[in-house]
Amino acid sequence: MKRLSTGAALLAAAVLLAILATACGGNDAKSESSASQASIDQLAARVQQNEMLNAVIVISGLPEHEMDTAAQGGKIDNKYVPTARMLVRMTALTDWTPELAPGAQKLHDSSLALLQALDAGKDVGAIKPLSQKAHEDWHLFTDEAWDVVTKTLPADAGGPRSTPTPGSPASPTSHDMTTPSTGDAMTMTPHGTEMP
């Protein structure tokens, strides 16, 4: 009888240890690993979003519009080379999401072509179309990038711009993305119409 009670006690202890091991996740390494991976993925996504936000702030703050306006007027500003170089670096070194990578690559390529022409000492006639292309790509990319980077925010808190509904006036932009081919100076309203 004593043997039976000792055996029962050992069996009960073994069952209790098995229950405790299961409750503590001893045999559930796959679940624990999945939870850890999910935390790592969330952190990586946040780091990538912060990296993109920083890059978009820098890229948006570059005087690309002013530089292109000067080039179209026949003047190569002394800030042009550093601006083009910064565009090349920021687009190349940032870990863009698959959604933004094509636009970033397009801006990188047009900025690199402009930088190479500037470094080679090309004349204003050769610089003008390269500058216009980089300027247009800059606008397209920054508009898209801001919408992606801020997509978790509501529109009234700096989130993505709402898409106009058919038949409604277009959403305001900073200026028309085209540069006049005549080289004449013109001022554009926020709705893209010419001002006298």
State pLDDT tens for residues 73-115: 999 988 899 999 999 999 999 999 999 999 999 999 999 999 9
Tell whether 18 is covered by a domain: no
CB 42 within 8 A of CB 49: no
Q: What burial letters (b/e) apply to 146-158, b meaning 16+ CB within 10 Å? A: bebbbeeeeeeee
State residue 68's pLDDT score. 95
Tell whether 118 is covered by a domain: yes
Tell whether 137 is covered by a domain: yes
Domain that holds residue 108: 42-150
> In terms of pLDDT, which residue wins out, 94 or 160?
94
Tell whether 2 is covered by a domain: no
Tell whether 173 is covered by a domain: no
Domain count, the chain: 1
State residue 110's pLDDT score. 98
The percent of residues above 90 in pLDDT, for the chain, comes to: 47
Domain CATH for 111: 1.20.120
CA distance 161 to 151: 9
> Which pTM was predicted?
0.64
| Contacts of 124 by beta carbon, 8 Å cutoff, 6+ apart | 71, 74, 75, 76
Nearest residue to 134 (alpha-carbon basis) of 164, 167, 91: 91
Tell whether 128 is covered by a domain: yes
Whether residue 14 is predicted with pLDDT greater than 70 in this model: the reply is no
> In terms of pLDDT, which residue wins out, 1 or 115?
115
Tell whether 160 is covered by a domain: no
CB 144 within 8 A of CB 177: no
In this structure, what DSSP letter does residue 145 have?
A: H
Which amino acid type is present at position 20?
A: L
State residue 194's pLDDT score. 42
Tell whether 123 is covered by a domain: yes
